[in-house]
Amino acid sequence: MARLSAHFDSREFACKHCGRLPAGKPPYSLLAALEKARTRHYPKGMVIRSGYRCPTHNAAVGGKKGSRHVAGDAADIAPVMTLKQARDCGFRGIGVDVRGRVVHVDMRPVPAVWRYDENGRTP
């Protein structure tokens, strides 16, 4: 386990299937935005449910081809942040659940916001 930032370590971001990280660790931009979110909105801690996914794991969980998880610059988080809060923290890709809570954040090149359906899929 290696410390990646003040509040996050490599174990949280490693692929649940193979245990690896992309090129060693998530990009600084993702870690900085997550640190900002953790400090501002999660004073008791923040859960990274899924970070990097190898292509095999991404396919097994129904992830889209070209997923930002496979690129290594995405995280599925505990669903308590609002869209405005996510934008203010600097996330560029933001996935929102049916209740309007942010559950996915990433650092894609072009900003995007989408809503998941009740099964956790994008329509």
Q: What is the CATH number of the domain that holds 21?
A: 3.30.1380.10
Across residues 26-43, what is the average pLDDT? 94
Q: For 90-123, write each residue's pLDDT tens digit.
A: 999 999 999 999 999 999 999 999 999 988 888 6
Cβ atoms within 10 Å, residue 90: 15
Cβ atoms within 10 Å, residue 28: 11
**Residue carrying the six token digits 């809060």:** 85
Residue 3 belongs to some domain of the structure: no
Domain of 108 in residue numbering reads as 10-115
The pLDDT assigned to 121 comes to 82
How does residue 84 score in pLDDT terms, banded at 50, 70 and 90?
very high
Residue 15 belongs to some domain of the structure: yes
Domains in the chain: how many in total? Answer: 1
CB of 74 closer than 8 Å to CB of 104: yes
pTM over 0.85: yes
Residue 62 belongs to some domain of the structure: yes
| Cα(3)–Cα(115) distance, integer angstroms | 32
Indicate if the pLDDT at residue 24 is higher than 70: no
The pLDDT assigned to 109 comes to 94
